[in-house]
Amino acid sequence: MGFGHAPVKIDRNMSRTATIALVLHAALLFLSGVAFATFLAPPTPLWLLEPQNQAFASLMFRYGGQTTVVLGAVAGLLHAMAHLGWRRALGLFVAGFCISLAAE
């Protein structure tokens, strides 16, 4: 509560959705960590070479990383919107995006 700013009413539904996105983000991070530490490390297990498992692995490799990153960004943006208001949250999101892009 700074000078000249009205307090923001916390949006409980948006906060709950942010929590769900954060939990999904954390679950995907954990599952990918377990996968890379176990069955994706050489030698490749035989069950992973079966066609249906290959299709799932292809889907996982194609969308897993992006989904994890997007869920993390959505969780942070929704949390900021619920607690700071949409204008401040959008400013924070744009600043974070620009800083992380510049660091690449």
Rounded to whole angstroms, the Cα distance separating 2 from 96 reads 21
Rounded to whole angstroms, the Cα distance separating 104 from 90 reads 21
Residue 62 lies in a domain: yes
Tokens of 79: 């949390």
Per residue in 46-104, pLDDT (tens digit) is 888 888 888 888 888 888 889 999 999 999 999 999 999 999 999 999 999 999 999 98
Residue 22 lies in a domain: yes
Residue 5 lies in a domain: no
Rounded to whole angstroms, the Cα distance separating 15 from 85 reads 12
Cβ contact 81:14 at 8 Å: yes
Residue 6: what pLDDT?
Answer: 62
Q: How far is CA 81 from CA 23, 36, 39, 46, 95, in A?
A: 18, 34, 39, 47, 15
Rounded to whole angstroms, the Cα distance separating 42 from 37 reads 10
Residue 4 lies in a domain: no
Domain count of the chain?
1
Residue 10: what pLDDT?
Answer: 86
- Domain of 67? 12-103
Cβ contact 73:25 at 8 Å: no
Residue 65 lies in a domain: yes
Q: What's the predicted TM-score (pTM) here?
A: 0.77
Residue 74 lies in a domain: yes
Cβ contact 77:89 at 8 Å: yes
